[in-house]
Amino acid sequence: MAIRLGRGVAAINYPTGMNLGGDPTQALVHSTPTGNFMVTLSSVDLGQGMKQIMAQICAETIGVPTDRVVVDTADTDTGPHCMGTFASRGTHRAGNAVIQAAKEARQVMLEVAAEELEVNASDLETDGQGNILVKGAPQKSISIFDVALSAHFKRGRSISGRGMFLIPRSYPEKETGAMKPSTCYAHACTVAEVEVDDETGEVTVLTVKNIFEIGRALNPKMVEQQLVGGSWMGISHALYETTEPYYPNRDHGGTDFNQYLMPGPGDLAETEIIVLERPSADGPYGAKGPGEMCANPQIPAVANAVFDAVGVRIDTLPITPERILRALKAQAAN
């Protein structure tokens, strides 16, 4: 009887969004009378940071500081249409819609500024600090605050825009059934190192090293937090979380999270995250969707590490001590 070490590797690719019916998302952008901008979406922020990212995308496109943008994730009655927050699609689909809407609003803003400065709109640029400048003559400028006031109270213009992102639908080929379900894919690879006690079946994850290719990290710190949390979630799926043996009969099942097995801080492995950036051609500023992918490769990596350690293949989750001991017993009997 001994503690055995094992190492497992797993690599995946993961589609961003889906292709059913074009997977559309719409966005609206408009300026307030004081030059702040409102983004209206029906996409929901589940805690993944969508509001922050949409504010950054809108600000970058219009040319204003991010703190001048407010994102309203309304609901399906009052907001523009969205397929939903799922399938790792939020940043990619909503971000592209916001870019379209923000470009339209920016054009109106520049047209109003051109009237005030008596120049052509094509001769103007933003400085990212809330001002509009004449190219090559930055001393001739106007604040976006003043442009918004002019649009609302003098020019009778609405600084606003509409955006919709729609994926061209891919139909299956009749002969082969082949189709293109997604326009871009994220990628990941995980290496997990574990200890397995071949007497008790207990698994301890020592280290998890992850590499994620996500297009472009629009907010690197938020991406890192999501990827680390996803890595821990993957370990939890691999070794802990289940409704068994109660499912589908819940008569004796757990009633709350006090009775639901998940890893605590002492059970979490040393985790390393490396982000590779290969911008997507159709992503908002190159971004893909890392949302669900970040919790996937750890599961097969841990399973492969257990196999490397004790030579038994567990193909049912979670990989519990009982399942490992049963597999070892069956192996010894053969």
The full set of domains in the chain, from first to last, is 3-16+184-333 (3.30.365.10), 25-165 (3.30.365.10)
pLDDT in tens, the chain (334 residues): 799 999 999 999 998 888 766 888 999 999 999 999 999 999 888 888 899 999 999 999 999 999 999 999 877 788 898 888 888 888 999 999 999 999 999 999 999 999 999 999 999 999 999 999 999 998 999 999 999 999 999 999 999 999 999 887 778 899 998 888 788 899 999 999 999 999 999 999 999 999 999 999 999 999 999 999 999 999 999 999 887 666 667 776 777 778 788 888 888 899 999 999 999 999 999 999 888 889 999 999 999 999 999 999 999 999 999 999 999 999 988 8
Q: Taking the CA atoms of the chain, what radius of gyration do you get in angstroms? A: 26
> How would DSSP label each residue in 47-97?
SS-HHHHHHHHHHHHHTS-GGGEEEEE--TTTSPPB--S-TT-IIIIIHHH
Among residues 231, 227, 164, the alpha carbon closest in space to that of 25 is found at: 164
**pTM for the structure as a whole:** 0.90
Task: Assess contact for 39 and 55: CB atoms under 8 A.
Answer: yes
